[in-house]
Amino acid sequence: PDDAPPDEYQGEPRLIVDPDPANVKPDEWDDDDDGPWKANVVPNPRFGWRPRMVLNPHYESPPLREQLKMELLKAAPWVLLGVGISALFEALHMPFDALANQLNSAG
């Protein structure tokens, strides 16, 4: 929890100079008035350091009944969509025989 990312990990720096072509010193920049110009830096996408995981002794997983309820609530819209599409196809009475004959004669 108190881990801080190092400046370099496995040979990769934490921050890199922004590769954006617009990240250049402006023409109107004056080092005497504005100070030294510094290019913008961005997080390095190849920097793979992650803080260590710490077990939480106070964590209790939800009871099985609650887990089942949550999974059913997540699945309900998809089940209803599947039932609705099936009912729609059943109500349309698609002429599968005519479609099969058409496909067989095409080839």
Taking the domains of the chain in order of start, what are their residue ranges?
1-57, 60-107
Give me the pLDDT at residue 59, please: 92
Predicted confidence at residue 74, as pLDDT, reads: 96
Residue 13: band (very low, low, confident or very high) from pLDDT cuts 50, 70, 90:
very high
Most confident of 19-28, 30-39, 62-71: 62-71
pTM over 0.85: no
Q: Which helix (H) or strand (E) holds 34?
A: helix 31-34
Q: Is the pLDDT of residue 42 over 80?
A: yes
The reported pLDDT for the residue numbered 76 is: 96
3-state helix, strand, coil in the chain (%, to 5): 40, 10, 50
